[in-house]
Each structure stands twice: as structure tokens, then as C-alpha cells.
Amino acid sequence: MKLPPADQVASPHTGYTREHWLAAADGLLEAVVPYAVPGFAQIRLPGRPSSSGPVLDGLEGFARTFLLAAFRGRDDVLERYAEGLATGTDPASPYAWPAIADNSQQIVEAASIALALHESGLYDRLSPTVRRRVAAWLGGITGKRAWPCNWVLFKVIVQQFLANAGAPHTPAEIAEALGQVESWYVGDGWYTDGDGQNYDYYCGWAMHLYTLWYTRMSGAPDAVYRDRLSAFLASYQHFFAADGAPVHQGRSLTYRFAAAAPLWLGALFDATPLPPGRTRRLASGTLRHFLSHGAVGEDGLLSLGWHGEYLPVTQAYSGPCSPYWASKGFIGLLLPAGHPVWTATEEPGPAETGDQVVALRGPGWLLHSTRDDGIVRLVNHGSDHNAPPPEPAHDDPHYDRFAYSTHTAPVIVTDAVDNRLAVIAPGGTESRRGRIERIAAADRFAASRSTSGKPPAVVESASYVHGPHEIRLHRVTAPAGHTVREGGHATREDLAGTITPLHGWHREGVARFSAGTAFGPDVTVPYLEADHPGGTVLLASVVTLAGGSLTPDLVVTANGCVLSLPGGEHVEIELGDRPRYLRRHPDGTVVTWESA
């Protein structure tokens, strides 16, 4: 991809300006043109098809790149999409779009088309006949079921577009969907993506984006949604490493620099606590990170993966055009060149200004980053992507691990070791984390509980973070004769990852996985093992990603431990029936948490 020279004066951290974003958008839009069908109603890129099949994959290619074209705003490019709208809604065309059906991919893409039509003004430039056909196709969403998650907001966007266009629409569907979304708000700017503990990037690039865009399209009051986005961005800014990488956690990670969308959204809606120079620095850093790590191939196309192609990071619904939800990362182009977000000098992100620790009560996470290496680490005691009981729990490697980071990814195999604690039966059956039962997320401390049926085990876990280190304490109840195993991060040879035993462990080892992770092949995972005597045992370790070693003084108590850390910090952690936490700073400041 051809980009302008770096501008180190305006953008001393990334070198990227608005011109770089324009050039990147142009490059992405031009690269897909050869793959358009006659009439431009579908874009059929090469690669593994999704579970929806090639026709809907082609519609996805049209809709998601149309969104990018709308943000880019070039009339010559939009003319292609005007032709595609005419062709896709023509029932006589061999490339006509299938009618919208219950829980279908068409619902997703209809929202992108509606949003793109609204922002580009293209709808008013279509012929009356094509306008009627487009409105009729979009109107097929009325009465259709949508999965009870961010999908309900697709109906909001489409219904509001139809209302603006003077076409038949159903206001009750907007009210119903917004009511569902309201029930998923958990505070501090965080939404769960449907019932359960579904915390990931959809909070920003879907829940915040579509609720606010609805107000943009309808003129409805936006103060509540703006306040929530501002609260979200106060913590979300900590998700980005010094090199621009976002934390590798959750589903749909192949959308890559769509992670920048809520940053721009805050500027667009005047709903951000971030100064404009930091907003651009974080967003541009993310775009630059992926462009410099092979996300766009020699053919100019986004691949299914993270850096380059890596199919294990995708889901069954991911097709060759799915990565173009990254178009949302270009929302900033709706802001004029004279806006402060484009004119202000870049300011460093949080990971560059000092060591940071942020407790996120909504998702049950701790974020901790270190200035020396610029790495952000996420400690997970709250997001499991499971439906509430009585639905059965399952494991997903992008949600069930104890830790994630901007520089590592989970090993996606059934016998993975990384950032897992497993109770292993004599026959080899391993416990799974399954549904996470939260205990706390406060200060530098987070804790949770999980229960396994096969083998029978209860694991209470606590994490305390200190610089690049995570001290883990586990209270494990299991039958005698079982083995307990815990792993650290999966790393390649260019990044150090260790796990240090503090209490209760009997053996150390290293597992090797040649298939690697989204960051490349050939990773190693350090792990610890203990022989369980039956009953309840306490195990403690230090998991470190880069940053040297840490061996605190540790005194085991009946249900926890007391830690004395370098620099004079004193920490008490208790699990069991009365979980509690205390941290005493060397200056005498005390922070406490106790279960209600």
C-alpha cells in the first residue's frame, strides 16, 4: 500500500496524518474492484467462505466496503456503489441480494448499507425506481428475528434510515431494540453483548457506535449515550500498546483496526475525555501497526487473520470479506481536515507515559501496562462468552484464559496450556474454566471462581498485578490423585514469558506448539504442576510477560496469603467464604475490598 511520507512534526509518535488515512482508504477500496461481479452488487474475494456461502459473502464485500467509501466521500468511488445498489435490488439480476430472513447475514449488511447511504447522501442521487427497490429490500428487515446481541441494533439503524427516507417502517422495533440494549448496560461505559458475560470489542465498535449513530440519524437525545461513551473511553484508551497493537482478546479479531472506531466516535460526538492529539495517536498507531505487520497482502486485500492470514482467529461466520468491518476504523474521515483531532500534535498514549493499572468492574478485568516495553496485559476474571444458566457453559480460547495481551495470543488447540489452570484426572481428562463466577475487580486485584464437573473441581483464583507481573493465587478443591497444571503466556523467541512457583507447586516444564498463535508459529508456554492430595490446597505463582523476574516474600494463610513486595508494598488476599483484599502502600495509604 502506497502511503505519503511520515510527518514526524505533526505526528511524532506515528508519522501518520489525515493524508495517510485517506491513502489507506483509497488503497483498500481500489484493491477490491477486480473482484466485483458485473454490476458491482457483490464483491467476491478469494479465500475460505463463511458458513453463509459465497452469495452472502459477496453481499458482505459490497456492504462493508460501501461503508468505507461513505466515510471516504469520493464521488467517483460512490458511483460504483450506486450501480451496485441498482443491481443488487433488481430481482432480474443474477447477482440480486437475497431477501432478508430471520437471523440472517443480510441483517448485518443491511445496517452497513443503511448507514453508508445516510452518511454519503447517495440515496437521494439514485433514480426513483432504485430508491423504491432499495427501501423495499431494506424494509424486509421488519418483523425478522435478530440474534439477541448487538444484532438488534442493526434493526435500529435500518428502521431509522427507512423513517428518514419516508419509507414504511416500524418505530416499535427501534424502541424494543433500544430497550434490550439498555438491559445490557453494566456501568462505567461497558455493555455486555447480549445476556451473560460477553465483554469484548463489540462494546465499542457496535454497542456504542450504533446507539450514538441512531441519535445522529434521528435527532433523538444523545446525552446518556455520550456520557457512557466518554466513561468507556476513559478506560478503553489503556487497551493500546506503545506500538499501536490492541489487546488480543474476544471474537471477530480479524476486524483489526475497527478497534479505532470508538476513539474517533468520541471525537465525532464530542464525547471523549481524551485530548485530540491522543485520540489520533491511538487510532493512527493501530492502523500503522496492522499495515506494518502484514494485515494487507501484496494484492492489497485484508486477509482473514490478525497480522497476516491466520484462520484459527476467525469464526464460522467469517468469510473473505469479513475483515472489511475494519472500515469502521475510518470514521475519523467524517471529521473535517480542520478539526482538532487532525490538527493537534500527537500526544503519547497511556502505555507510553508510565506504568498503568486500571480495574474494570464491568467486564471483571485488570489492565496493566509497562512503559519500558509498551506492552498492555489484560487479566480476565469476568468475561466468558457464555449464556446465563441454565444454558450449558463452554470454553472459548479468546475468552476463557486468565490473561491476554497486546503481544501474545492464545494457542487454539484442545490441549492448550497457556494462561489456563487445569485439574487433570488420572485418565487425562482436564477441567475447563467454563462459566466464570465473579468475586471482585478492584484496585490491583481481581478474583473469580469456576466449577468443573469432569473431573470434579472447584477453583477460586485471585490475581494481583505489579509492573509486568501477575501474582496468581489459586484455592483448588479436587480429589486425591489428580494433577493441577497452570501455564503462562505463549511466546515466541523474541519475547520472554515465565511462570515462577511461589507456593505448592512440584514441577516446572515448557510446552511447545509448532502451529503457534496469531503472532506466528513455534511458541513455547512455561507451566507448573502439582500433585493434588485431595481436599483443598493453595497454589501461588508469578506470571511474567517481559520485564524480568519477581519473587515476593509470601506467607500462606488459611485461605490466602500475605505478600511483601519490592519497594515496601504490603498485600493481603483471602479467598474462601469471606474474600477480602488489602494493599498498604509504603506511604501508609491503604486500599481495601471485602465481599458484601
Q: Do 385 and 371 form a contact (C-beta atoms < 8 A)?
A: no
Q: So what's the architecture of 18-352 in CATH?
A: Alpha/alpha barrel (1.50)
Percent of the chain with pLDDT over 70: 100
HEC string of 224-275 equals: HHHHHHHHHHHHHHHHECCCCCECCCCCCHHHHHHHHHHHHHHHHCCCCCCC
User: Which pLDDT value is given to residue 547?
Assistant: 76
Is 363-546 a CATH 2.70.98.70 domain? yes
Q: How confident is the model at residue 596 (pLDDT cuts 50, 70, 90)?
A: confident
Mean pLDDT, residues 531-542? 98
Give me the pLDDT at residue 78, please.
98
CA distances from 452 to 24, 195, 342, 443 (A): 48, 22, 51, 29
Confidence of residue 22 (pLDDT cuts 50, 70, 90): very high
Task: State the pLDDT at residue 183.
Answer: 98
What is the reported pLDDT for 166?
98
Retrieve residue 220's grid coordinates.
433523538
**What average pLDDT does range 333-360 have in this prediction?**
98
Asked if residues 102 and 144 have their Cβ atoms less than 8 Å apart, the reply is yes
pLDDT band for position 453 (cuts 50, 70, 90): confident
- Average of per-residue pLDDT across 69-98: 98
One-letter-per-residue 3-state SS of 546-581 = CCCCCCCEEEECCCEEEEECCCCCEEEEECCCCCEE
CA 126/CA 120 separation, integer angstroms: 12
- State pLDDT tens for residues 193-202: 999 999 999 9
Q: What are phi and psi of 416, to 5 degrees?
A: -60, 150
Q: Which of 36-45, 116-125, 164-173, 542-551 is predicted least confidently?
A: 542-551
Q: Do domains 18-352 and 363-546 have the same CATH topology?
A: no
Averaged pLDDT for residues 302-307: 98
Q: Which phi and psi angles does 397 have, rounded to 5°? A: -60, -20
pLDDT of residue 70: 98
Mean pLDDT, range 373-392, rounded to an integer: 95
In this prediction, residues 252-272 reach a mean pLDDT of: 98
Give me the pLDDT at residue 519, please: 97
Do the strands 483-487 and 469-478 form a parallel or antiparallel pair, or are they unpaired? unpaired
Average pLDDT for 184-188: 98
Residue 419 pLDDT greater than 90, yes or no? yes
Separation of first and last alpha carbons in the chain: 55
Q: Rounded mean pLDDT of the chain?
A: 97
> Can you say how many angstroms the Cα of residue 200 is from the centroid of all Cα atoms in its chain?
4
Q: What's the number of CA atoms in the CB half-sphere (13 Å) around residue 478?
A: 33
Eight-state DSSP code of residue 195: S
Q: Where are the domains of the chain?
A: 18-352, 363-546
